[in-house]
Amino acid sequence: MIQSISHITFIVKDLEKMTNLLTVIFDAQEIYSSGEDIFSLSKEKFFLINDIWIAIMEGQSLSDKTYNHLAFKISDRDLDKYSQRIKSLGLELKHARNRLDGEGQSLYFYDFDNHLFELHTGTLEQRLQGYKEAVSARK
């Protein structure tokens, strides 16, 4: 039986640039750095974002940008704060997709290695309710 997500790993060209991104934007706490040691596939660092274990490993950047992404939940009142953090690192905010009323708001941005992140204010329940109302309105 699956209990939860264990960890999320990102392969990045520059561990220090990604460390800065994780700590500035997500308030991540660095809990481990392999330094020059290699116990897995390459040099690595571990972080906690709240209770979420994020691993970064040195390697080649993604060649293409896609819509595959990792979304973190934030509150509506924090949208501006996170927008400023993203911009302070010189990262470009991607235009959000069209949304239904009540679905929540999102900030999308790519990191330095073409990983897409989303900061989202809504919940699964709100999204499903919005979809249900949209279907009902069409009838």
Known catalytic residues are 44
CB 19 within 8 A of CB 30: yes
Picking from 65, 72, 64, 68, the residue whose alpha carbon sits closest to that of residue 21 is 72
